[in-house]
Amino acid sequence: MLCEPDVKTTQVSQLLHGHIARVVERNGLWLHVKGADDYAGWIHQGYVVTMPEPVPPLSQTGWNDPRPLSLGCTVRDDHGATRKLALGALITEGQDRVGGLAMTLEERRHSFPPRADSITASAMTFFEGTSYEWGGVTPWGCDCSGLVSSSFQLHGVKVPRDAWMQAMTGQPVPSMKELRPADLLFFSDDPDGKITHVAISLGGMKVVHLALGRGGYAVDDLEAGDEYTSLLVTRFRFARRIL
């Protein structure tokens, strides 16, 4: 999903395989769409197919879709072609899983409960080694808010897509000394104070995040005192408790 109807512009998010989106506007071969997370962006029509009626409500699609959702799997279609699906993609009609893991919504409710320790474990397990990619939401490339969104959504906890939107959810945490696992820490390097980075607390001063300053996935101790963490602490603005 791009910020403008032009392939040369910036990616702002991703619409994963099998996810449904609503067309808001058309511009030639480009579609301005909103997915189940209500996040908008431009996508070329070559990447999508028209859904037959009746189309389910967006609230029942995406991470809430009852179809098997990839935890990192490979599928084969009716023509024998195989495709790898990233975490969060959906197995669609005519595809059979031939490798890796996938779970239905009901199965995920049992295996991925909405608990803080489970959410932080998923963030560390699925995204370890992930490179930083602006607008990415999967272990194939992800940004800071994509890590938060995907990790929470896997456990049935809906959070907005972008860091500045996530900063308006949950309840305030009075101080960094009171951080609990799965609390969200927000940072800014913007002169106007707009939130530009988010990290997931592991409890105390340890966080897991997708950081441009680390090149991607990192587990950091904000009390470590190295150049990067010291700079990050100066950019800390507040924390929010989602659970």
Residue 234 and residue 121 share a domain = yes
Residue 123 and residue 5 share a domain = no
Residue 235 and residue 121 share a domain = yes
Residue 223 and residue 198 share a domain = yes
Residue in the structure block whose two tokens are 């058309």: 26
For residue 185, what are the β-bridge partners? 199, 239
Residue 35: predicted pLDDT? 92
pTM of the model: 0.95
Q: What is the CATH number of the domain that holds 126?
A: 3.90.1720.10
In angstroms, rounded to a whole number, what is the distance separating the alpha carbons of residues 215 and 63? 27
Residue 38 and residue 50 share a domain = yes
Residue 140 and residue 88 share a domain = no
Domain around 37: 1-63
Residue in the structure block whose two tokens are 């945490």: 173
Residue 168 and residue 85 share a domain = no
| C-alpha count within 13 angstroms, C-beta hemisphere, residue 160 | 13
Residue 43 and residue 17 share a domain = yes
Residue 52: predicted pLDDT? 85
Residue 53: predicted pLDDT? 86
Residue 136 and residue 227 share a domain = yes
> Which stretches within the chain are classed as H helix?
105-111, 116-127, 144-154, 163-166, 227-234
Decide which of 52, 78, 105 is a domain's last residue. Answer: 105
Residue 134 and residue 84 share a domain = no
In angstroms, rounded to a whole number, what is the distance separating the alpha carbons of residues 141 and 109? 25
Digit-by-digit pLDDT tens for the chain (243 residues) are 999 999 999 999 999 999 999 999 999 999 999 999 989 999 999 999 998 888 888 888 999 999 999 999 999 999 999 999 999 999 999 999 999 999 999 999 999 999 999 999 999 999 999 999 999 999 999 999 999 999 999 999 999 999 999 999 999 999 999 999 999 999 999 999 999 999 999 999 999 999 999 999 999 999 998 999 999 999 999 999 999
Which element (helix H / strand E) includes 42? strand 40-44
Residue 224 and residue 121 share a domain = yes
Residue 51: predicted pLDDT? 86
Note the residue count of the chain. Answer: 243
Q: What is the CATH number of the domain that holds 44?
A: 2.30.30
In angstroms, rounded to a whole number, what is the distance separating the alpha carbons of residues 201 and 143? 16
List strand residue ranges (DSSP E) for 112-205, in order: 137-138, 141-142, 171-173, 184-187, 197-201
Q: 212 with 131: CB under 8 angstroms?
A: no
Question: What is the total count of domains within the chain?
Answer: 3
Residue 162 and residue 133 share a domain = yes
